[in-house]
Amino acid sequence: MEVVKNHAASRRLALLAATSVLGLAFAGAAQAQSLLTVGTTTDVVNFNPLVGNSKTDTWVTNLMYPRLMQMHDDGTTSALVATDWGYSEDGLTAWFEIRGDMTWSDGTPLTAADIAYTVTVVKAESLGNLAAKLGGMEAVNAVSDTRVEFTLRSPDAIFLDYIGFWMPIVPSHVFPETGVKDFANDANWVSAGPFVMTGFERGQRYSFVKVENYPLVENGSAHVDELEYRVFPDLNAQALALRAGELDVIANPIPPAIGRTLATAPGISLVEVPSLGWAHLQYNLSRDMLDELAVRQALAHAVDYDAIRAIALQGLGTSTNSSVISPALAFWADPDAQEYAFDPALSRQILEDAGYTDANGDGFYDGLTFSVIYDQAAGEVANWVQIVKDSSAEAGIRIELSGMERNTYLQRARDRDFDLYAGSWGVMEAPPSYMPLIFRANGNINYGNINDPVIEEMLDRLVTAPTPDAARPIAHEIARYAAENVYDNVLYYQTFQFAYNSDNWEGVVPQPSDLLSIINPLSLASIKPVN
């Protein structure tokens, strides 16, 4: 991870030369920096961390509901609330040992019973993507305040890693015994994170105060007294506020064009973190013509991948070789994966061989018009969908762009209401965890409506592999089969840039992906005023 700094040295010299009265004024201003402001472009949709799905939902609830493990740049995990974990010799029992010094903000101890409760309600009510991973779990028991055990139907080599990173722990004494899916959790919050929410105004702000006991950081609690997420209309507005000193941290990834302007701005630092997910074009197989392999192949060969990475990403994107396994995952990566070739002539040949014609001679094949939905606030995506539109036109395929507000876009994706979906996944760290979600017929994020018995059989073998070493070749088999059938067109994995005011703040703790970056709980608890 790289940090690029541009400090305003001249302003500091001026402060040092100021009168004692000005010095006192500066000291007072520094003391007032116990309020840290973080910018986002969208409101929270759901305050319930077991239901919420948007990035802002995750950023906000992460500050109150901790996880057992943390994630590193190569997709591996390490201890956070958990101190130790493992499996029985037959692989049918899994367990976590947790810290004994954590409490909820109302003074109630955080114990293994909270973990057992969280797992139980997620499975019982099929909450979110996590529920799919719990299908192979038969029982969970808190055998002591600091130990929780899981009984599995069959060995699952990455069960603990997945639960450890993806599951937020919620307070069993606050959340209901049943009906958790409908629990709004929009008032009277209780937190075991570094901050607890005190209130919010939609479209404006989400306010927090620090909790006194957060032993996951060296200080034992956050350095700042208050934190506020502020909602901005777009990233340009955030960048202007950051430069004007009206905002301290930008939570959203910085597009390359804005990054270039911030890189030379006094007092602002850019932090680069790797993505553990990837950007992609998802084809909806339930739509006419997109259910034809020839059409999906033609679309895949009509994308100028190099132009997207060089122009839209300004060199901050790296090829995944058209694989759903990112090369950033050193253990899982497939060295033999190859990227689709950009070849509009080949696309035209494929379509003509499949019987498509251009009867009116307008340069586009009859009927091959598709709409692509995307988040209009995601600057780099808005740039590369235009490249896709232009390069597809060379292949005789008409693409219509449909940018929309993020929460509307996410709902359209969940409803499978699109032809093509342009977007990205934040963290795809272990294929046995995410491949069933994106490829099974009933997968929670199978936005492409894939329904293929061949891939289902492969997935059955993948999720029951006893060790990661046994799972890896099966994951490669699935990724290659998906690429051959163009079930997803993965374009790149990205190096993200994030910005903060480094004249006033220091101590950021970068973590991979745009879900964590510099606004993960450990980072926001560690940030402190300069001097």
Q: Specify the amino acid at residue 400.
A: E
The CATH number that domain 65-182 falls under is: 3.90.76.10
What's the confidence (pLDDT) of residue 397?
98
H-helix segments, 355-467: 379-394, 406-414, 431-439, 453-463
Domain 275-494 indexed as CATH 3.10.105.10: yes
Residue 101: CB atoms within 10 A of its CB come to 12
109: CB partners within 8 A, 6+ apart: 100, 102, 103, 145
Q: Could you report the average pLDDT of every consecutive run of 10 residues in the chain (531 residues)?
A: 42 36 40 83 95 89 97 89 96 97 98 98 92 90 98 91 95 96 97 98 98 94 97 96 97 92 96 92 97 98 97 92 92 95 98 97 96 90 95 98 93 95 90 93 93 97 90 97 97 94 96 94 97 80
Domain boundaries in the chain? 65-182, 275-494
191: CB partners within 8 A, 6+ apart: 63, 64, 65, 104, 105, 197, 211
